[in-house]
Structure 1
């Protein structure tokens, strides 16, 4: 009888526990599901943010998730001067004037008016949107391109951007054969093919005057050293790098390291603001740590890295960081 009573008592305790739990469950003040459902429906109706480009994955201009990048990247700065937009702010003009070795800066507006009677000055590359996927190769001049066999990869891009001397003949397997845009200044000028855009980086008003002269009279033959009197290039494809953009690259991206950025860094910034995918080749030292050009036989010195006016190491670190956060793809070469 004792064992039976214990079993009955146990059953009663279980039954009472179930009843108590059920009463508590249905008496708990759960929120009305209608407002929650309404809220969820509202979220479903909100449009998704528009795609910035048609490239798979992400676009260069995507700012979300990259605070370091978003603090520096400003899409309102356009790399090129145009007929409609070549006036400089006082702040930029004063900064740009300090870069010059001549005293021709006051002629800037007059020279620009003459310049755009010769060259198109069109508003190019302002076609970003969900239907565009522009791939660009920025090809530096480092000796790490030797034996890299990057030529086919480079030439497969929509735009191929080179700078300064940058010969391709005889180096096609490593550096490619195509050039759509070639950045230069008078002292680094070379002749170009008819399908290549000459992109002048003007460090002084005399550089702009040289460009006019190089396509007309050939009278400007000297800056701080001898320069080409005339140049072979397609006049209809000439573009002018903006001093406003030069200052933006120096201030926003380099935190004012160096007196002004190098042609290599200007080329990278150019691509970063007109392209949706950017691949970088020929930047940095070779695998032995040598800094030299790919067409040079010697590996000595790396004089182009130690010019005294560029923050070479700082520029390279910025470039590497852009690759680290997947804003560019960096090919390290051999």
Structure 2
């Protein structure tokens, strides 16, 4: 019934276009003598989402060998559903960060305004600013973002996760003891001071430590970590922070704050608040990581995403016994708006959700 209605609507629109009753311009259809019917939502995403390949991409990807990495696929699909998407963005800050104008006028966490001195000090010591020679030499990269949701439990996805070129983990979510469900490979762990692993023995042997800075004290903490100094004060943090990170400076990175800016203002549509952090305008770290992956990865998958509040006794995280009912309304995040964005990515075939927690049967 729905397909028949869609076909009839399309035929009707084409007939009206042919008769000159309807006019088309990029992004809108205008009825003669009346207003326009937009093809896109407020953020710029196409309204009619599906995971089918657009005609222009069928020739390029339909004949790809099954299981092989498809170069540029995620960016092509993202552009198909969100034409404003622009891929070339530095993943980590490097000494040339001042040339990237999109972050220069914003304070943390959306930019680097007023942080030049400390950034220069830290970056001059880390001296490494990429994913590493081996990964950067790949002509096609598959990436998976491992969320911390309880939905990961008992799925036995560990082996599948480890097959990806880039495995991204978040905050202090443990690996040891949970390998069957979450895998054992970690390419990078994105965190902030309050979310970082505090027990040294729980760190993986090899991975990049990536700071996502939300406030100026976060960068001061990172500076102390890089120079192997014990943080002198807990002032400015909302909970205890790691006192030491067992990583050499060459294994430490600073995530480009543009990904927070892009996710918040452009993709999700959270309140602008004069470009400053405020109530309900900070995306979760998981969504920031997905936004990053769309810029650096050819194919993107996620696991462990999605909170089902209708199951209050389900585990909130895969590694602890806290229940879903523990979720309180967040001051900084807007989970409902964020979910709308993630559903668009799944429905549009931009990302694959292996635990099916983002939109469930709706996709």
Work out which of the residue numbers 114, 117, 131 in structure 1 matches 2:121. 114
Whether the aligned pair in 2 keeps the contact of 1:143 and 1:291 (CA below 8 Å) is yes
Render the CA deviation track for 1:182-224: whole Å, top value 9, x for unaligned: 0000011114334100110011222111011123221344132
Q: Which residue matches 2:194? A: 187
Q: Which residue matches 2:322? A: 298
Q: How does 1:215-254 map to 2 (within 5 A)?
A: 215=226, 216-222=228-234, 223-224=236-237, 225-254=239-268
Deviates more, 1:236-245 or 1:129-138: 129-138
Q: Which residue matches 2:82? A: 69
CA–CA separation in structure 1 for the residues paired with 2:95 and 2:73:
29
Q: How does 1:241-320 map to 2 (within 5 A)?
A: 241-257=255-271, 258-285=280-307, 288=311, 290=314, 292-303=316-327, 306-320=329-343
Deviates more, 1:122-131 or 1:197-206: 122-131
Q: Which residue matches 1:40? A: none
Q: Which residue matches 1:78? A: 90
Q: Which residue matches 1:136? A: 143
Render the CA deviation track for 1:12-55: whole Å, top value 9, x for unaligned: xxxxxxxxxxxxxxxxxxxxxxxxxxxxxxxxxxxx9x979983
- Deviation at residue 93 of structure 1 after TM alignment: 5.3
- Give the match's secondary structure for 2:266: helix
Work out which of the residue numbers 353, 356, 363 in structure 2 matches 1:330. 353
Q: Which residue matches 2:208? A: 197
Whether the aligned pair in 2 keeps the contact of 1:60 and 1:275 (CA below 8 Å) is yes
- Give the match's secondary structure for 2:353: strand
- 1:178/1:199 CA distance change after superposition, 3 Å: same
Whether the aligned pair in 1 keeps the contact of 2:303 and 2:353 (CA below 8 Å) is yes
- Deviation at residue 320 of structure 1 after TM alignment: 2.2
Whether the aligned pair in 2 keeps the contact of 1:164 and 1:185 (CA below 8 Å) is yes
Whether the aligned pair in 2 keeps the contact of 1:201 and 1:240 (CA below 8 Å) is yes
- 1:99/1:173 CA distance change after superposition, 3 Å: same
- Give the match's secondary structure for 2:82: helix
Q: Would you say 1:155 and 2:162 are equivalent positions? A: yes
- Give the match's secondary structure for 1:166: coil
- Give the match's secondary structure for 2:317: coil
Structure 1 gap segments, 5+ residues each: 1-47
- Deviation at residue 325 of structure 1 after TM alignment: 1.2
- Deviation at residue 226 of structure 1 after TM alignment: 2.7
- Give the match's secondary structure for 2:332: coil
Render the CA deviation track for 1:246-301: whole Å, top value 9, x for unaligned: 21221111112532111111111121111111110000136946471111213142
- Give the match's secondary structure for 2:301: strand
Structure showing greater Rg: 1
- Give the match's secondary structure for 2:119: helix
CA–CA separation in structure 2 for the residues paired with 1:213 and 1:239:
14
- Give the match's secondary structure for 1:293: coil
TM-score w.r.t. length of structure 1: 0.73
Structure 2 gap segments, 5+ residues each: 1-56, 272-279, 358-363
- Deviation at residue 99 of structure 1 after TM alignment: 7.9
Q: What is the number of equivalent residue pairs in this alignment?
A: 279
